[in-house]
């Protein structure tokens, strides 16, 4: 009796765009990926635990700045995209990408509970002829050691009945040059057949796919990318601290070093690390290595330097106010920009939140302005963006530039500032 060739069937469905694609987790990673698959001709279903988010998506309202509501509404109207909170839809899907959060616990250990919970749902509805790809950043071994055993309990054969792979997300919110579609996609499959199916799926929507030998290699690729950034940012942040001790301008030194046409890559210091990836991902690798009795010294040191930067800048604020004859306690301190990077509305792990927390803890009357972020939560307080930027600038005893949004007219802002602490050095060359 002939056995069913699920690989061939799935490859055919992918090629003729009859394969139904599911994205679990419709956030900063999942929604752009869903749009790319839908634009490529696939019918896409998003699965999310937030009923409010699902309702907004089905009404054509995007919560991600990188995904215009007009694009989303068009794909919903064309029947190319819909969203649901019901995991039962998994049984009808052919290809499933997992894009759920992977935060750190307070103990700085990986929290893969979202992946575990999703895998339990996948195992309930797993059927022959499906390909599953984990995109959530995690430590090497997660795909094979956490997801695969739960799926295997269904009695299906990986690489024959169903297909499993890892492909790390490479989303950089706010970019228009490198997007989900044209950023090369690394993929590692549990078996060669898994690799072939996952590669075909992503090649149907992404410009370039980069195969590696295993899920572990693909998991490590992502951690290397963000560890590279975290360590180099930690290095230039320490250069800033050293230059401060030496009475040198760190940005002048870095800009001059960057004129070397080889052997140097420019990184700039700032208020600390933010976003969901760079502050967190290297610690996943560090944790994994600790289980193997190895200390990732570069990662630990970079994390130590980077996490202390908000305290450094709060001390600079306090010193500047002291020189002006004012105590930090009771002074009005205005933070410009609270998103973790310029031109986005994402405040996850933003150092601005730490700076505001420290300022408030020292008794400062701290407020903020950010054209992209109307409200934030600091400790137990809900803060709103200052409605009148000009008035807020003029009323502030000290202004702290934390996020250098393009929307800010720095030439107009600078003359209104009484006392400035500039963590991004964007006002160095703006004359009063």
User: For 18-56, how does the pLDDT look when each residue is reduced to its tens digit (9 = 90+)?
Assistant: 999 999 999 999 999 999 999 999 999 999 999 999 999
Is 251-422 in the same CATH topology as 6-213?
yes
Confidence of residue 104 (pLDDT cuts 50, 70, 90): confident
Residues 6+ apart with CB under 8 A from 245: none
pLDDT at 107: 73
Residues 411-426, mean pLDDT to the nearest whole number: 96
Distance of CA 123 to the CA centre of its chain: 27
Alpha carbon distance 410, 78 (integer Å): 43
Percent of the chain at pLDDT above 70? 99
Adjacent-strand bridge partners of 384: 375
Residues 350-376, mean pLDDT to the nearest whole number: 97
Alpha carbon distance 413, 408 (integer Å): 8
Which is more confident, 3 or 243? 243
Alpha carbon distance 287, 103 (integer Å): 13
User: For 211-268, how does the pLDDT look when each residue is reduced to its tens digit (9 = 90+)?
Assistant: 999 999 999 999 999 999 999 999 999 999 999 999 999 999 999 999 999 999 999 9
For residue 338, pLDDT beyond 90 = yes
pLDDT at 316: 97
Structural contact between residues 202 and 169, judged by C-beta atoms closer than 8 angstroms: no
Alpha carbon distance 287, 130 (integer Å): 32
Residues 307-313, mean pLDDT to the nearest whole number: 96
Alpha carbon distance 353, 333 (integer Å): 14
C-alpha angle 421-300-237 in degrees, rounded to nearest 5: 25
The predicted model scores a pTM of: 0.91
- How many residues are present in the chain? 432
C-alpha angle 200-203-206 in degrees, rounded to nearest 5: 150
User: For 178-221, how does the pLDDT look when each residue is reduced to its tens digit (9 = 90+)?
Assistant: 999 999 999 999 999 999 999 999 999 999 999 999 999 999 99
Residue 261 gets which letter from DSSP? S
Confidence of residue 281 (pLDDT cuts 50, 70, 90): confident
246-253 long-range contacts (CB < 8 A, ≥24 apart) are 251/425, 251/428
Query: Strand, helix or coil at 185?
Result: strand
Alpha carbon distance 47, 89 (integer Å): 9
Residues 78-95, mean pLDDT to the nearest whole number: 98
Residues 109-121, mean pLDDT to the nearest whole number: 94
Confidence of residue 274 (pLDDT cuts 50, 70, 90): confident
pLDDT at 318: 98
Give the residue extent of every domain in the chain. Answer: 6-213, 251-422
Catalytic residues: 277
Q: CATH for 6-213?
A: 3.40.50.720
Residue 104 gets which letter from DSSP? B
pLDDT at 1: 47
In words, the CATH class of domain 251-422 is alpha beta
Alpha carbon distance 101, 205 (integer Å): 23
Structural contact between residues 398 and 420, judged by C-beta atoms closer than 8 angstroms: yes
Residue 416 gets which letter from DSSP? G
Confidence of residue 2 (pLDDT cuts 50, 70, 90): low
């Amino acid at each position: 009796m002939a056995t069913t060739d699920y690989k061939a069937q799935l490859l055919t469905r992918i090629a003729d765009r009859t394969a139904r694609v599911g994205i679990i987790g419709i956030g900063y990673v999942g929604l752009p990926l869903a749009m790319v698959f839908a634009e490529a001709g696939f019918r896409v279903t998003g699965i999310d635990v937030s009923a409010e988010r699902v309702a907004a998506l089905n009404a054509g309202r995007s919560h991600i700045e990188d995904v215009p509501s007009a694009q989303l509404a068009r794909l919903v109207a064309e029947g190319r995209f819909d969203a649901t909170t019901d995991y039962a839809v998994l049984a009808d899907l052919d290809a499933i990408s997992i894009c759920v959060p992977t935060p750190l616990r307070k103990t700085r250990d990986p929290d893969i509970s979202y992946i575990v919970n999703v895998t339990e749902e996948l195992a309930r509805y797993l059927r022959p002829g499906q390909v599953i790809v984990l995109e959530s950043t995690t430590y090497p071994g997660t795909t094979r050691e956490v997801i695969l055993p739960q799926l295997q309990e269904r009695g299906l054969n990986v690489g024959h009945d169903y297909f499993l792979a890892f492909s790390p997300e490479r989303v950089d919110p706010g970019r228009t040059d490198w997007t989900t579609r044209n950023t090369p996609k690394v993929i590692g499959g549990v078996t060669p057949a898994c690799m072939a199916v996952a590669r075909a799926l992503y090649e149907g929507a992404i410009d370039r796919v980069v195969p590696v030998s295993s899920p572990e290699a693909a998991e490590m690729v992502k951690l290397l990318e963000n560890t590279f950034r975290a360590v180099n940012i930690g290095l230039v942040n320490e250069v800033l601290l050293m230059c401060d001790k030496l009475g040198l301008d760190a940005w002048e030194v870095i800009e001059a070093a960057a004129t070397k046409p080889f052997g140097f890559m420019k990184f700039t210091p700032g208020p600390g690390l933010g976003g969901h990836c760079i502050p967190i991902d290297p610690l996943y690798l560090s944790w994994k290595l600790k289980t193997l009795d190895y200390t990732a010294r570069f990662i630990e040191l970079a994390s130590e330097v980077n996490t202390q930067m908000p305290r450094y800048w709060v001390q600079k604020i306090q010193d500047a106010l002291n020189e002006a004859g004012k105590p930090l306690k009771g002074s009005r301190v205005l933070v410009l920009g609270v998103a973790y990077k310029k031109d986005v509305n994402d405040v996850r792990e933003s150092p601005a939140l730490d700076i505001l927390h420290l300022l408030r803890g020292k008794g400062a009357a701290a407020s903020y302005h950010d054209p992209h972020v109307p409200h934030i939560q600091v400790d137990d307080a809900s803060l709103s963006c200052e409605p009148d930027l000009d008035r807020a600038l003029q009323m502030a005893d000290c202004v702290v530039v934390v996020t250098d949004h393009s929307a800010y007219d720095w030439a107009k802002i600078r003359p209104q500032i009484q006392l400035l602490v500039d963590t991004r050095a964007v006002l160095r060359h703006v004359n009063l």
